[in-house]
């Protein structure tokens, strides 16, 4: 493999990392509070707002049900409005974020719902407000599950970032299509696949390590 192709692989890897990191961050900023609200806003819960919960739940489910490649194409006008263009790494962040946010919201909702209800009742008995219960009980207890869920979301984003290469996005997916497929260069395709596997394995290992650390800390705080 020539030095030029190695340079292209390096550049494409950086572009993929940029897309995944930024969209993952933005998706978390949107999805985390949304997931907390979905987990605590059904009838009789801490932030009881069943009508709003139903509407937001419907929107989240509708967004998650759209295949990613269709979502990318369907929101091209919105992407162009936000990013000024519909191609390139910055433009790809828009659909990646929209795909990540509802996924992360459901992950956070599930993690919070798995928290022992007895802890919530104990906090209520001590006079804690709903917001205090969320900040000091629900989120700390759900952190290990949230960390694992965010790891899964980041792994999914790596796969999605490769898919946007088919519709004008840059990164490893674009390089694999342009060189590995269209120019019949299997060595480039193989290199792209290997790099994606390494990225996924690295993210998975890091996320699991963080989740274990958070779980041990939570157990120590509970005196276990």
Note the pLDDT of residue 1.
59
- Closest to 214 in 3D by CA, of 152, 136, 142, 135: 142
Listing DSSP states for 98-163 in one string gives HHHHHHHHHHHHHHHHTS-HHHHHHHHHTT--HHHHIIIIIHHHHHHHHHHHHHHHHHHHHHHHHH
* Domain boundaries along the sequence of the chain: 3-221
Q: 134-180, pLDDT tens digit by residue? A: 998 999 999 999 999 999 999 999 989 888 877 777 888 888 888 87
Q: Look up the pTM and report it.
A: 0.88
> How confident is the model at residue 202, as a pLDDT?
95
Smallest Cα–Cα separation from 100: which of 173, 165, 25, 41? 25
| Residues 6 or more apart whose Cβ sits within 8 Å of residue 163 | 68, 69, 72, 173
Q: Convert the pLDDT of each residue in 111-143 to its tens digit.
A: 999 988 888 889 888 888 888 999 989 999 999
| pLDDT (tens digit per residue) in 66-85 | 999 899 989 989 999 998 88
Q: Two tokens at 158? A: 């790596």
Length of the chain, in residues = 224
Identify the pLDDT of residue 223: 46
Contacts of 42 (CB under 8 A, 6+ apart): 48, 50, 53
Cα 174 to Cα 158: distance, rounded to the nearest angstrom: 13
Q: How far apart are CA 199 and CA 9, in angstroms?
A: 13
For residues 27 and 172, is the Cβ–Cβ distance under 8 A?
Answer: no
Distance CA 9, CA 29 (A): 30
| Residues 113, 40: Cα–Cα separation, whole Å | 8
Give me the sign of the Cα torsion angle 197, 198, 204, 205. Answer: positive
- Say which DSSP state 41 is in: -
Is 222's pLDDT higher than 80? no
Q: Which of 202, 190, 197, 175 is nearest to 15 (CA)?
A: 175
Fold held by 3-221: MetI-like fold (1.10.3720)
Instruction: Please tell me the distance from the alpha carbon of residue 25 to that of residue 27, in angstroms, as a whole number.
Output: 5
pLDDT of residue 220: 54
Residue 2 has pLDDT above 60, yes or no: yes
**Mean per-residue pLDDT, 185-200:** 90
């Amino acid at each position: 493999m020539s030095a030029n192709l190695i340079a292209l692989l390096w550049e494409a890897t950086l572009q993929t990392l940029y897309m995944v990191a930024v969209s993952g961050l933005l998706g978390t900023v949107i999805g985390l509070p949304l997931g907390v609200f979905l987990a605590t806003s059904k009838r009789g819960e801490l932030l009881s707002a069943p009508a709003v919960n139903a509407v937001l739940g419907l929107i989240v489910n509708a967004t998650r049900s759209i295949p990613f490649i269709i979502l990318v194409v369907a929101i091209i006008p919105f992407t162009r409005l936000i990013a000024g263009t519909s191609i390139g790494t910055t433009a790809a962040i828009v659909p990646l974020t929209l795909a990540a946010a509802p996924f992360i919201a459901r992950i956070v909702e599930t993690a919070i719902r798995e928290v022992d209800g007895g802890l919530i009742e104990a906090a209520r008995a001590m006079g804690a407000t709903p917001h205090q219960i969320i900040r000091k009980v629900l989120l700390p207890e759900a952190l290990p599950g949230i960390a694992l869920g965010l790891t899964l979301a980041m792994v999914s984003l790596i796969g999605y970032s490769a898919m946007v290469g088919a519709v004008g996005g840059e990164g490893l997916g674009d390089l694999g299509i342009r060189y590995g497929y269209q120019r019949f260069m299997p060595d480039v395709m193989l290199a792209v696949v290997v790099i994606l596997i390494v990225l996924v394995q690295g993210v998975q290992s890091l996320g699991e390590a963080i989740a274990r650390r958070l779980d041990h800390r939570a157990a120590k705080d509970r005196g276990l």
